Structure 1
């Protein structure tokens, strides 16, 4: 897991030498606020509607299998269209794709909020996911392109990822509070925010540079195959807990996804201007960051899923009570995330990822203590606080690592690969956790329910621990390889592959 191969032995990032303090003008700050608002919205939407799903299910008398698509539809379209959205940002212009994504997101949110049946809610969520797949990679590209590499970019990415991290945590609080009033507000809140961000982006985000005639060729075959492959891959993963991992349907869907990915590889090798330059996948920093991203969000979303079930279904807490239970986690992220970017320049990237994932592992271990009448302050709050410390450091480091050293013309695609790691990781880990937890809530004895929560938590403990240990292991392997291949007097190792 090549996280921070480009970091020197001293641990500092390139460009992190003593420099004048970072100072930005009002326009730079406002542009960052607009982009961060869109990123926060992607995260909020992912969480808020999940909190409201039981109420939507009851209002429209949906089956459990149908109701899970309220969440899965968003994950499906978001994860399925991310690579295409990232490459569109490179080819069509990041500002143009960002604006389009915000418009699509607003339309989908409005449709979901005004829905008169379950099908309309699911359709709205599909559209929202497509909008998020366009805004997420283009937003990160705008941030990376708007600030020079080094302390300024680290700080900007730190603030940007802070907003996403806060969205993922505060989404539980906001979702619980809005659901208490009406589930429709979990959709409708996104409409004015998306419209305001769109107007702000029209004014503040610089226009994309004019492109020459040689950049007008688009790899349509590659776009179709990779999007279809990602859609089928995510669909197979989210359906596996219901259908069975070794059912004919699941295996068939995953096999077709694999065949489409193979076809995509052949197409990209032959295309004059490929959608995905395969050499980019030899960039160890990008691939390593994407794997870490999968672990970060996969374990975090699974913890929220288990915690929400434990608090609401097992303990009988209201959505608002659960929202306040998660509030300290969001406050910790809000406190540490804006500072994480500045600290990266002093510590490098290995330490924040290792420390963040180690804090995750300890937090999940502590959560294993919960029982039928556990005290929130003694048994649950310590986990919340540790996650609130670990999340912003690992999350920010992964985003910095993924975009470092990538050419400007491929920043959107790199952001798309990273975001795919986040979304596919969330889908895969949650699917495995769900299988490990066992049957439907309504058909399982109370003691078995608690045991299921513990079994699911053991999965995320293992993933967090393995990810944390992989960071120093990868660094050690990298040093040994450098020692074997480089003369004693050689300079720093080459920063990036591909």
Structure 2
């Protein structure tokens, strides 16, 4: 990975090609989920699914994807992120082919859950490779921004792709399309990802030491807790929140999460899946909290309006997908703003994004629920809200990687992406419950009151986010990513005092505080 202490430099062309590969993997992950929103009605009828069973086509993927991100991040940090990335993309290809041929609802939902695990392997490993490939903070910020932008674009493109296949061929081609894209990506990864960006501090350890560093006990406890928690909140949207099916897994998951954090305090820091000190890195916790919003906002728009336009307005699948394009266009446009974090504090950029989301959500709350309201209300809301969500996502990602050492890139990427998925799964479950309960007393789904109430709930979440960033975001480390080199130098300076001259100490201090290391 290093020659004479300096990282090997790849050519700019090679870096751009690799970034495209990683972005396409993000694209595949999102298309894998959102494309089924268009195909769900047809798929449900074909397999004889009830409405509650149909929701698990989406929920099974989200449940495993969010739950297995942490163990994927640990594997990327401890083992080789290149192997994790290629293995994940290859698995997506194989499982997607199987999904296209499966006709039974139970085997199909199992395949969807397995696909979520495969997709979870790609995101933390891709982020680790991006951070290693772009050590310069400015280039890294731009790369992470573009990577995130592909996720936003894929969200709406997946809806459009699903609509095209459902309209002109069959829903089976939604899965085969994913396989067609994933296969060459896996092959390209094998030949084009160089070993020097796939090496991490832990990946150089002996195999036995790697195995011990995984913290299998802690990761297993947390993974099971997350599966149960997401299962509970997802079931709450279709079952009674007071039912045993919701309360039992919810209570058990909370107890297991408490047990996980207690376990992490009992084992050595270097072996912990999420060392307790991680939460005390500057701005880390508040940025994870803010990470709950972007996918929540995007998914809420896709689900609420797709269903309303098709079931109530009787617009075609393709027509509904085209009307979602402002989300795609503005999301990608804002993904190119990564360099702004070198001019302005991410705090102000994130606050701007939250403000845009607030304006957009208020527009939708006052929306009259009529087809003619698309241009005065929905179109500007989609454009403003998607811009805001992307600013939050891109600059939240940039800021959180500035807060921690590069050796934790995979784990940090997993935690942040888990927050994105949790926000989406939990938020949509609560909004669906609010919408359903209000509709029960206000004239049913034909009326807009239930959707308006759900948007008011979303507006309340945004207000809490605005307060948290305004009060708790610390700007003292803006534009100064912390690198493990400086931490090692400080540790060496504090412990190695024998046989050293005073001049050597001065040199060590100069090395660990130099602009080159900070950059």
- Residues 369 and 447, structure 2, Cα contact 8 Å, conserved in 1: no
- Residues 438 and 453, structure 2, Cα contact 8 Å, conserved in 1: no
Which is worse superposed, 415-424 or 264-273?
A: 264-273
- 2:176 paired residue among 188, 201, 205: 188
Match of 2:93 in 1: 106
- 1:245 paired residue among 208, 230, 241: 241
* CA deviation after TM superposition for structure 1 residue 439, in Å: 5.6
* CA deviation after TM superposition for structure 1 residue 473, in Å: 2.9
1:71 aligned onto 2:69: no
For residues 375 and 448 of structure 1, the distance between their equivalents in structure 2, rounded to whole angstroms, comes to 15
* CA deviation after TM superposition for structure 1 residue 268, in Å: 2.2
Q: TM-score by structure 1 length?
A: 0.86
Secondary structure of 2:363's match? Answer: helix
For residues 473 and 283 of structure 2, the distance between their equivalents in structure 1, rounded to whole angstroms, comes to 12
For residues 47 and 421 of structure 2, the distance between their equivalents in structure 1, rounded to whole angstroms, comes to 28
Match of 1:278 in 2: 276
- Residues 85 and 137, structure 1, Cα contact 8 Å, conserved in 2: yes
* CA deviation after TM superposition for structure 1 residue 444, in Å: 8.3
Secondary structure of 1:406's match? Answer: coil
Per-residue CA deviations over 1:196-242 (Å, capped at 9, x if unaligned) read: 11111112222233622243423221222111111111111111122
Match of 2:210 in 1: 215
Match of 2:514 in 1: none
For residues 342 and 271 of structure 1, the distance between their equivalents in structure 2, rounded to whole angstroms, comes to 39
For structure 1, the 5+ residue unaligned runs are 1-22, 480-498
- 2:166 paired residue among 156, 167, 179: 179
For residues 27 and 466 of structure 2, the distance between their equivalents in structure 1, rounded to whole angstroms, comes to 26
Which is worse superposed, 202-211 or 315-324?
A: 202-211
Match of 2:223 in 1: 227
Change (3 A) 1:327 1:456: same
For residues 126 and 45 of structure 1, the distance between their equivalents in structure 2, rounded to whole angstroms, comes to 12
Change (3 A) 1:371 1:408: closer
Cα RMSD of the aligned pairs, angstroms, is: 2.4
- 1:258 paired residue among 235, 254, 259: 254
Per-residue CA deviations over 1:258-313 (Å, capped at 9, x if unaligned) read: 22222222332223422221211222422222211101221221122111122111
Which is worse superposed, 240-249 or 98-107?
A: 240-249
- 1:204 paired residue among 192, 203, 209: 192
The residue correspondences of 1:32-431 to structure 2 (distance < 5 A) are 32-181=19-168, 182-207=170-195, 208-209=198-199, 211-213=204-206, 214-217=209-212, 218-272=214-268, 273-338=271-336, 340-368=337-365, 369-431=367-429
Per-residue CA deviations over 1:392-447 (Å, capped at 9, x if unaligned) read: 21110111112114222211111111011001111111111011001699998457
Change (3 A) 1:225 1:107: same
- Residues 104 and 130, structure 1, Cα contact 8 Å, conserved in 2: no
Change (3 A) 1:61 1:441: farther
Change (3 A) 1:65 1:441: farther
Change (3 A) 1:404 1:416: same
For residues 336 and 264 of structure 1, the distance between their equivalents in structure 2, rounded to whole angstroms, comes to 37
Q: Which has the larger radius of gyration?
A: 2
For residues 335 and 322 of structure 1, the distance between their equivalents in structure 2, rounded to whole angstroms, comes to 22
Higher relative contact order (CA 8 A, sep 6+): 1
Secondary structure of 2:238's match? Answer: helix
For structure 2, the 5+ residue unaligned runs are 1-9, 478-519
- Residues 165 and 391, structure 1, Cα contact 8 Å, conserved in 2: no
Secondary structure of 2:395's match? Answer: helix
Aligned length: 457
For residues 389 and 424 of structure 1, the distance between their equivalents in structure 2, rounded to whole angstroms, comes to 21
Match of 1:494 in 2: none
Q: TM-score by structure 2 length?
A: 0.83
